[in-house]
């Protein structure tokens, strides 16, 4: 039972690390491509049309709000800096200024001058709803903007989720990380399984719960640092013992069946990553608590294995894994097969 639990903990820990990596990559992409800013522009374009949107983006007030953004996206043939969001009051103020509306007479003239189409019908509808009172008309514009942005936010979350699945699949292929192979590596080697489970236990007991990436205001610098730490310290420490990467592949035995298992494993990994780091961290804490309440995995091994316990105990410090090369850890402990053969010799 404890061996199976250690194997499950190892798989969950690996999924957690890759989920954290995928979230950081998504935050980096969101910053470089201004995904939130593009979503804002698309929402405004759907409200006022393409021609008016270009004028809206060129308005000095909008440009001032976008001045602090370091990311630029090509919109309307120009590279533009885009803010992550604007308030409903900002939207109505810019729109009324574009139409040069300062009073009721200006409002009536502006609506009459609009070309026939959905925009004019909407303006006429809002005019009737407010009896032509400019303050009430402005308030209706703001309510309209808020409703549209609520729907746009939902669409942005769905888009981000699709990005996360794509990133997860890319990571699975690049690192050759498929759940089937990871399970196989852990289930046949109790030493490796306990090694990874100890690292997972240390991580769960010392690290705070992960937070969702801030895709509205992504921090590119922080995202880069997280990616470097996860790849160079955490994942690198488990790469060799778990058979991740492509260096360990024996191409002489690769056939159609091998590729089928790989594709299934990669897709499973991608779906798991899309569940998010918070999901895997909570599951890891529950499993670690269950494991700590049972007998220690070391007590089930032979006496000679206890000499390597200090090495296993130093698997993780702080937020990164600082384990020595996995080969030395595994070589310092007897293989499970040899240990199981001793009772037969006594018989």
Residues 202 and 60 placed together within one structural domain of the fold: no
Q: Which of 121, 154, 187 is the last residue before a domain boundary?
A: 154
Backbone angles phi, psi at 316, to 5 degrees: -135, 140
Say which residues have a Cβ less than 8 Å from residue 197's Cβ, sequence separation at least 6. Answer: 5, 6, 9, 10, 13, 291, 297
Residues 99 and 20 placed together within one structural domain of the fold: no
In a domain, 347, yes or no: no
In a domain, 169, yes or no: yes
Backbone angles phi, psi at 200, to 5 degrees: -65, -40
Domain that holds residue 79: 34-154
In a domain, 335, yes or no: yes
Residues 137 and 163 placed together within one structural domain of the fold: no
What string of DSSP letters covers 270-298?
HHHHHT-HHHHHHHHHHHHHHHHTS--GG
The number of residues making up the chain comes to: 347
Q: Which two tokens stand for residue 231?
A: 């790849």
Residues 187 and 304 placed together within one structural domain of the fold: yes
Number of domains the chain is built from: 2
Residues 12 and 79 placed together within one structural domain of the fold: no
Residues 191 and 330 placed together within one structural domain of the fold: yes
Residues 102 and 247 placed together within one structural domain of the fold: no
**pTM of structure:** 0.72
In a domain, 346, yes or no: no
Residues 6 and 135 placed together within one structural domain of the fold: no
Q: Which of 154, 181, 196 is the last residue before a domain boundary?
A: 154
Say which residues have a Cβ less than 8 Å from residue 212's Cβ, sequence separation at least 6. Answer: 23, 276, 278
The pLDDT profile of the chain, 347 residues, written as one tens digit per residue, is: 788 999 999 999 999 999 999 999 998 888 887 788 888 888 998 888 888 888 898 888 888 887 766 555 666 566 667 887 889 999 999 999 998 999 989 999 988 888 888 888 988 999 899 988 999 999 999 999 999 999 888 888 888 899 999 999 999 999 999 999 999 999 999 899 999 999 999 999 998 898 877 777 777 888 899 999 999 988 988 888 888 889 888 888 889 998 999 999 999 999 999 999 999 999 999 999 988 876 554 444 333 333 333 333 333 333 444 443 333 333 333 333 434 444 444 43
User: What is the distance, to the nearest Å, from the Cα of residue 221 to the centroid of all Cα atoms in its chain?
Assistant: 16
């Amino acid at each position: 039972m404890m061996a199976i639990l250690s194997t499950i903990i190892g798989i969950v820990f690996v999924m957690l690390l890759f989920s954290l990596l995928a979230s950081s990559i998504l935050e980096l992409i969101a910053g470089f491509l201004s995904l939130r800013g593009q979503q804002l522009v698309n929402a405004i374009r759907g409200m006022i049309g393409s021609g008016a949107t270009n004028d809206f983006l060129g308005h000095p007030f909008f440009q001032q709000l976008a001045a602090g953004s370091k990311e630029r996206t090509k919109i309307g043939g120009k590279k533009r800096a885009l803010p992550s969001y604007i308030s409903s009051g900002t939207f109505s103020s810019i729109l009324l200024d574009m139409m040069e509306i300062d009073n009721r007479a200006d409002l009536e003239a502006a609506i009459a001058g609009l070309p026939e189409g959905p925009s004019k019908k909407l303006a006429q509808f809002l005019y009737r709803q407010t009896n032509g009172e400019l303050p009430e008309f402005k308030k209706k514009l703001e309510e309209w903007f808020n409703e549209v942005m609520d729907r746009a936010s939902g669409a942005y979350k769905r888009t981000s989720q699709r990005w996360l699945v794509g990133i997860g699949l890319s990571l699975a292929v690049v690192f050759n990380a498929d759940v089937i192979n990871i399970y196989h590596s852990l289930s046949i080697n109790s030493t490796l399984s306990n090694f990874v489970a100890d690292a997972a236990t240390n991580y769960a007991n010392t690290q705070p719960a992960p937070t969702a990436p801030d895709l509205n205001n992504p921090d590119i610098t922080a995202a880069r640092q997280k990616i470097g730490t996860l790849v160079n310290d955490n994942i690198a420490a488990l790469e060799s013992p778990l058979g991740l990467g492509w260096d360990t592949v024996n191409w002489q035995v690769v056939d159609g069946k091998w590729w089928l298992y790989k594709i299934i494993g990669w897709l499973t990994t991608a779906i798991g990553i899309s569940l998010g780091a918070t999901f895997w961290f909570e599951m890891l804490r529950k499993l670690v608590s269950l494991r700590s309440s049972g007998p220690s995995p070391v007590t089930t091994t032979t006496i000679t294995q206890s000499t390597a316990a200090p090495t296993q105990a130093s698997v993780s410090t702080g937020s990164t894994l600082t384990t020595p090369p996995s080969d030395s850890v595994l070589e310092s402990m007897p293989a499970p097969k040899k240990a199981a053969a001793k009772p037969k010799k006594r018989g």
